[in-house]
Amino acid sequence: MKILVNITLLVLLYVFNGLTTASAQTTPPPFVLKGKVLDKVSGEGVPFASVYLKMGQNGMTTDENGAFTLTVKAFPDTLLVSEVGYEQQKLVIDAKTLPTLTVNLLAVANQLQEVVVMSYRDPGKTLMKMVIAHKKDNDPARLLNFVRNDYMRTELDIENFTTEERRSLLGNIMSVYQKFNADTANTASLPVYFKEEYYKEYHAKANQTDAKYLIAQKNLGLQTDALGAKFDKFNIRPNAYDGVIPILKTSFLGPVSDLGLAFYDYAKPDTLVENGVFTYLLHFSPKHKNENTFEGTLWIESDSYAVKKVEMVTSPTVNLNFIRQLSVKQEFAPIRDSDKGTVWVPVRSRVSLNFENGLGLLGLPGRIDSTGRTVKLMSSSDYSDYKSNVDGIDADNFMGPERTDNTTAYFEDSYRLSALTSRERAIYQTADSLKHNSRFVNTTQFATFLFSGYWDFGNRWRMGPYSSLVSANQTEGVRFRTGLWSMEGVSQKWNFWGYLAYGTRDRRFKEGVGIKYVPDRVNYRKYEISFKNDYDALTDFSDALDNDNVFTLALRKPIPVYQNFLRQVRISHERDLSHDWSSRIFYSYGSITPTFQFSYVPSDDFISPTDPAYALLHTLHNSEAGLTLRYAHNERSVIFNYDKLRIQTRYPIVRLDVSTSVPIYRNTYFDYVKANLSVSQDVPMPLKGSLYYNLSAGKVFGKVPLLLLHIPRGNPYYIADRYAFYGMSPYEFAADRYASLQTRYSLGGLILDRVPLLNKLHLRERLTANLYWGDLTKANTDFNQINAVRTTGRTPYAEAGVGVENIFNFFSIDCIWRLNHLQGADQARITRFGIYTGVKIQF
């Protein structure tokens, strides 16, 4: 009976609607209205004017001659005609108006200039030209400064998970998840990681300064929470107005770029009218394949030509290893700024990354398996409480008294600027149910161990990394090493660490122990004291390959061994001075014993090798204090094992290192000062790829033996290392005044993407060029005549090479040629040509 009543009501409504429509029409619809919009003064057609029928709710934009064609659905109707720079016209449309209509628009005197740039024959290009011309007014980055709240969510899903796989662990988790998830339509996607974060953010136009402060965060409380730092690199927040958009160490050309007209096709715009406000929908697509471009849609406000919304995805042929597609959705809203007028600012941002599956994970071409398991990473941000052009604030004080240590801050419901969906609520409920499932806990712990390299015992102790458990060198033979760190479950501020190593050839134990104290993670401060009794084999760079690594077993060059055994006590203090500046001071005392031939004397008097005192001067004792000042603008960082690891910045990094001897002990003989200034940067290139450079220069003041001179970093392995000189051996050159330039240009597939068939492998080419010059003063030359010290002289050392990276998505090959300084040295130390490999999962 209820169904019958509903059907009857629907029939009555349909009949009533037909009667009322018929009564409003004096002539049966539809009819075609052809018209032209002209400039009233010049009589020329007005291109790209908006014409819209109010009752019919349909409209369009005029072509390059001002012509349009509309379907009239009912009489009478009202035609709205508008264009920036002209007064709006309203005309009544009835049967007498048909079949043609001419509309004359009167230009507004103070906006005539805006009409001049509208002379393109292609309406899509015409609109984009206007958007580009108004970037300087609409780009939120033009504000002197602003502060806002940012509520961010990050989620990692396994896609295409079928219900037939119930016997697996993931199947059991899926069953638990479906129990809580009210949205049963999305049963093929299983979330395995979820985190909420609430930030206060600051932006200033000066130097495009950005700073963010974490108020609170909330995660699932599972072992997989430790992977959060790994996902930070995927926190992409592109500005729709940016011409070049950096994404995962490569560059994309944005659709609103000044170069966009040369790389994008823009379709004829559609027109929407909402509450009397016109919005243009502009679809864009790449002109060419294999370019780092997007395809999608822009929503553009008609009066200001501001971007209201953008939805875009990377081109299908884009070269992003591991990633099949990246999609971006952003929404903008106007705010009133007292200085700049109305400005459109982002209020919502959604970024989604779909990873490859099957053969695509190895970078091999193949048909996409739409039913196979894939991984999807989603991050979203909602912004609120914009405050612009606030006096007296900067990147260091914008939080004021609210700034506190956030490591234990409680995540409040009020932080959520958008409510959790039923799906997201189910994620938390599922996690609570799985915390006591031993099979799930053990499996996720093992998966985290494989991904991070460390094995965690709850939140109290961490062991690893597994990549350094076994290595080999000519001094120690096979080397075993294991390390242990305390975690936040033991103490939020104190960290105890240590490692133990053993060599099968030298048959001795090596160890390192230390204590770190981090009283403040917001304005980062760290105090550390450590003791080391080991070969100085560990790298100084967090992104370089550790020498204690299994990959070094078979990749060492056939050259003599150059290692130093250190017994050292070191005290250091590191802190953030401001948003951009950080510093580190240290004091160390210890001994250095080389494994190669080395001798020194504590005075200018030469001692013959036959003198009994000669052997006593093989070990060098040194007492030294130093200061490092580091400038890195808008650098992203993460705290891991209580250390602040520097992740990425688009701007140059300037570093000054100054150290001096402190000869307060009887066995420390030398008085010196060392100074080094370096500038390095990863520069996103306009079309594809990135350029890395490191320019440094320095001087050693004082008369010192070889071990205290500047020794450029030679590469003893056939392993790619952008911080070393590939063809140079350790201790091949020495200097007390020097300069060097190291460069690597990763082209990102600029050439190989254009080669048929080969482009399907998504390989990336790169070029390497390195220079080094170093010399010695006469005083240090004479003082070190007892050792074989070599300088470059007037001709800098040079090497160059070509390479291909991300073979199988984790392998690279570089062919490096040493160009000079091939004579006058121990030939066993010279590598004229080498093939250097790298194993690195790099996006």
What is the 3-state secondary structure of 350-401? EEEEEECCHHHHHCCCCCCCCCCCEEEEEEEEEEEEEEECCCCCCCCCCCHH
Question: Partners of 834 in the beta sheet?
Answer: 816
Using alpha carbons, select from 786, 785, 783 the residue that is nearest to residue 603.
783
What are the sequence ranges of the domains in the chain? 2-114, 136-438, 442-839
Instruction: For residues 51 and 101, give the distance between their C-alpha atoms in angstroms, rounded to a whole number.
Output: 12
Locate the DSSP E strands across 134-276.
145-159, 190-204, 209-219, 244-247, 250-253, 264-266, 270-274
The CATH number of the domain covering residues in 442-839 = 2.40.160.50
Using alpha carbons, select from 28, 25, 88, 82 the residue that is nearest to residue 51.
82
Instruction: For residues 46 and 67, give the distance between their C-alpha atoms in angstroms, rounded to a whole number.
Output: 8
| CA Rg value for the chain | 33
Instruction: For residues 487 and 223, give the distance between their C-alpha atoms in angstroms, rounded to a whole number.
Output: 13
Using alpha carbons, select from 359, 289, 237 the residue that is nearest to residue 636.
237
**Res 20: pLDDT:** 34
Contact 169/440 with Cβ under 8 angstroms? yes
- Please, is 504 exposed, middle or buried when counting C-beta atoms within 10 Å of its C-beta (0-12, 13-18, 19+)? exposed
- Please, is 526 exposed, middle or buried when counting C-beta atoms within 10 Å of its C-beta (0-12, 13-18, 19+)? buried
Contact 210/222 with Cβ under 8 angstroms? no
CB neighbours (10 Å) of residue 33?
21
Our measurement of the distance from residue 238's CA atom to the centroid of its chain's CA atoms, rounded to an integer in Å, reads 11
Contact 266/284 with Cβ under 8 angstroms? yes
Contact 677/655 with Cβ under 8 angstroms? yes
- In total, the chain counts a number of residues equal to 843
**Res 346: pLDDT:** 92
CB neighbours (10 Å) of residue 298?
23
Token output for 193: 């990681």
Token output for 518: 């981090």
Instruction: For residues 454 and 502, give the distance between their C-alpha atoms in angstroms, rounded to a whole number.
Output: 20
Instruction: For residues 339 and 388, give the distance between their C-alpha atoms in angstroms, rounded to a whole number.
Output: 9
Cis bond leading into 191, ω under 30°?
Answer: no
> Residue ranges of the chain with pLDDT lower than 50?
1-27, 110-120, 166, 538-539, 542, 606, 614-615
Contact 833/819 with Cβ under 8 angstroms? no
Cis bond leading into 684, ω under 30°?
Answer: no
Instruction: For residues 130 and 306, give the distance between their C-alpha atoms in angstroms, rounded to a whole number.
Output: 10
Contact 695/768 with Cβ under 8 angstroms? no
Arch. (CATH architecture) of 2-114? Sandwich (2.60)
| CA angle at 303 for the pair 298 and 309, rounded to the nearest 5° | 25
The residue assigned the tokens 């980062």 is 524
Contact 147/212 with Cβ under 8 angstroms? no
For the chain, report the end-to-end CA distance as a whole number of angstroms.
62
Q: Give 790-828 pLDDT, tens digit per residue.
A: 999 999 999 999 999 888 777 899 999 999 998 876 777
Largest CA distance in the chain: 122
Cα dihedral 547, 548, 554, 559, rounded to 10, equals 50
The residue assigned the tokens 């910045």 is 649
SS3 per-residue string spanning 658-686: EEEECCCCCCCCCCCEEEEEEEEEEEECC
**Kind plus residue range of the DSSP H or E element containing 549:** none
Q: Say whether 843 sits in a helix, a strand or coil.
A: coil
The residue assigned the tokens 């050259």 is 559
Contact 658/674 with Cβ under 8 angstroms? yes
| CA angle at 607 for the pair 606 and 611, rounded to the nearest 5° | 170
Instruction: For residues 808 and 729, give the distance between their C-alpha atoms in angstroms, rounded to a whole number.
Output: 30
Cis bond leading into 30, ω under 30°?
Answer: yes
**Res 399: pLDDT:** 83
Using alpha carbons, select from 727, 746, 723, 733 the residue that is nearest to residue 819.
727
**Res 55: pLDDT:** 76
What one-character DSSP code corresponds to residue 413?
Answer: G
Instruction: For residues 294 and 285, give the distance between their C-alpha atoms in angstroms, rounded to a whole number.
Output: 7
The residue assigned the tokens 């915390």 is 435
Using alpha carbons, select from 792, 789, 796, 788 the residue that is nearest to residue 775.
792
Contact 131/399 with Cβ under 8 angstroms? no
Instruction: For residues 351 and 358, give the distance between their C-alpha atoms in angstroms, rounded to a whole number.
Output: 23
The residue assigned the tokens 């001075």 is 577
Contact 700/674 with Cβ under 8 angstroms? yes
Our measurement of the distance from residue 743's CA atom to the centroid of its chain's CA atoms, rounded to an integer in Å, reads 20
Instruction: For residues 224 and 723, give the distance between their C-alpha atoms in angstroms, rounded to a whole number.
Output: 32
